[in-house]
Structure 1
Amino acid sequence: MTEPLLSSLAAPGAADRPDALTVAGRSCSREELLGAAAAVASRIAGAASVAVPAEATLETVVAVVGGLLAGVPVVPVPPDAGPAEREHILRDSGAELILGQDVPVDLAARGSYSGAEADAKAPAFVLYTSGTTGAPKGALIPRGAVAAGLDAVADAWQWTADDTLVHGLPLFHVHGLVLGVLGALRTGCRLVHTGRPTPQAYAAAGGSLYFGVPTVWSRIVREPSAARALAGARLLVSGSAALPAPVFRDLEALTGQRPVERYGMTETLITVSTRAAGERRQGVVGHPLAGVRTRIAEAAEEGGIGELEVSGPTLFAGYLGRAEATAAAYTADGWFRTGDIAAIEPDGTHRIVGRASTDLIKSGGYRIGAGEVENALLDHPAVAEAAVVGVPHEDLGQEIVAYVVAEGVGEQALIDFVAGHLSVHKRPRRIRFVEALPRNAMGKPQKKLLPPL
Structure 2
Amino acid sequence: MTGPVPRLLTALHDAPSDRPDAVTVDGRTCSREELLGAAGAFAARVAGAPAVAVHATPSLETVAAVVGGLLAGVPVVPVPPDAGPSERDHILRDSGAVQAPPAVLTERRSWDGPEPDPDTTALVLYTSGTTGAPKGVLVPRRAVAADLDALAGAWEWTPEDTLVHGLPLFHVHGLVLGVLGALRTGSRLVHTGRPTPQAYAAAGGSLYFGVPTVWGRVARDAESARALSGARLLVSGSAPLPAPVFRDLEALTGQRPVERYGMTETLITVSTRAAGERRPGSVGLPLPGIRTRIAAEPGAEIGELQLTGPTLFDGYLGRPEATAASYTEDGWFRTGDIAAIEPDGMHRIVGRASTDLIKSGGYRIGAGEVENALLDHPAVREAAVVGAPHADLGQEIVAYVVADGVGERELIDFVAGHLSAHKRPRKVRFLTELPRNAMGKPQKKLLPPV
Normalised to the residue count of structure 1, the TM-score between the two structures is 0.97
Matching of residue 28 in structure 1 with residue 30 in structure 2:
yes
Deviates more, 1:388-397 or 1:142-151: 388-397
- Which of 180, 189, 192 in structure 2 is aligned with 1:191? 189
How far apart are the structure 1 equivalents of 2:275 and 2:244?
23
Give SS of 2:359's match: strand
- When structure 1 is superposed on structure 2, of 201-210 and 35-44 the one drifting more is 35-44
- Per the alignment, residue 393 of structure 1 pairs with 390
After superposition, the Cα gap between the structure-2 partners of 1:232 and 1:90, relative to the gap in structure 1 and judged at 3 Å, is same
Is residue 238 from structure 1 mapped to residue 236 from structure 2 by the alignment? yes
Distance 2:180 2:9 in 1: 12
- In the alignment, structure 1 residue 366 sits paired with structure 2 residue 363: yes
Kindly state the Cα deviation for residue 11 of structure 1 after the two structures are TM-superposed: 4.0
Alpha-carbon distance, 1:109 to partner:
1.3
CA distance in 2, matches of 1:146, 1:174: 10
Give 3-state SS (helix, strand or coil) of 1:231's partner: helix
Letter of the structure 2 residue corresponding to residue 447 of structure 1: K
- State the 4+ residue runs in structure 1 displaced beyond 3 angstroms: 2-5, 9-14, 299-302
1:342 aligned to which of 339, 342, 360: 339
Distance of 1:5 and 1:294 partners within structure 2 = 29
Distance in 2, matches of 1:128 and 1:48, equals: 17
Q: Where does residue 71 of structure 1 map in the other structure?
A: 73
The gaps in structure 1 that reach 5 residues or longer are none
Q: Report the secondary structure of 2:62's partner residue.
A: helix
How many Å apart are 1:126 and its aligned residue?
0.2
Q: Distance in 1 between matches of 2:27 and 2:319?
A: 40
Asked if the contact 2:13–2:36 (Cα under 8 Å) also holds between the matched residues in 1, the reply is: no
Matched with 2:258 is 260
Alignment map for 1:61-210 (pairs within 5 Å)? 61-100=63-102, 105-210=103-208
Amino acid at match of 2:258: V
Deviations 1:235-285 (A, max 9, x none): 000000011111111100000000000000100000000000000011000
Contact 2:54 2:79 in 1 (8 A): yes
Given that 1:75 and 1:126 are in contact with CA atoms closer than 8 Å, whether structure 2 keeps it comes out as yes
Offset at residue 3 of structure 1 (A): 7.7
CA distance in 1, matches of 2:403, 2:190: 35
Amino acid at match of 1:387: A
1:419 aligns with 2:421: no
Q: Please tell me whether the aligned partners of residues 5 and 147 of structure 1 are also in contact (alpha carbons under 8 angstroms).
A: no
- CA distance in 1 between partners of 2:101 and 2:288 (Å): 35
Residues 397 and 5 of structure 1, relative CA distance in 2, 3 Å threshold: farther
CA distance in 2, matches of 1:261, 1:280: 8
**Alpha-carbon distance in 2 for matches of 1:291, 1:38:** 33
- Residue 227 of structure 1 is matched in structure 2 by 225
Of 221-230 and 391-400, the range deviating more from structure 2: 391-400
- Once the two structures are TM-superposed, the CA of residue 147 in structure 1 deviates from its matched residue by 0.3
Q: What letter matches 1:91 in structure 2?
A: R
- Distance change in 2, residues 1:5/1:292 (3 Å): farther
Counterpart of 1:41, as a letter, is A
Residues 150, 288 of structure 2: 8 Å contact kept: yes
**Aligned: 1:429 with 2:426:** yes
Fraction of identical pairs, as percent:
78
Provide the rounded CA distance (Å) in 2 between the counterparts of 1:43 and 1:116.
16
Q: CA deviation at 1:98?
A: 3.1
Change (3 A) 1:441 1:163: same
CA contact (8 A) 2:15 2:32 kept: no
Selected match of 1:407 from 401, 404, 409: 404
- AA of the residue aligned to 1:249: R
CA contact (8 A) 2:12 2:184 kept: no
Q: Is the 8 A contact 2:339 2:350 kept in 1?
A: yes
Distance 1:14 1:368 in 2: 55
Q: Which residue of 2 aligns with 1:307?
A: 304
The one-letter amino acid of 2:155's match is: W
5+ long unaligned stretches in structure 2: none
Q: Does 1:275 align with 2:273?
A: yes
What is aligned with 1:383?
380
Quote the Cα distance in structure 2 between the aligned partners of 1:374 and 1:41.
Answer: 47
What is the rounded CA distance, in whole Å, between the counterparts of 1:300 and 1:98 in structure 2?
A: 54
Give the length in aligned residue pairs.
447
Partners of 1:306 and 1:190 in 2: CA distance: 40
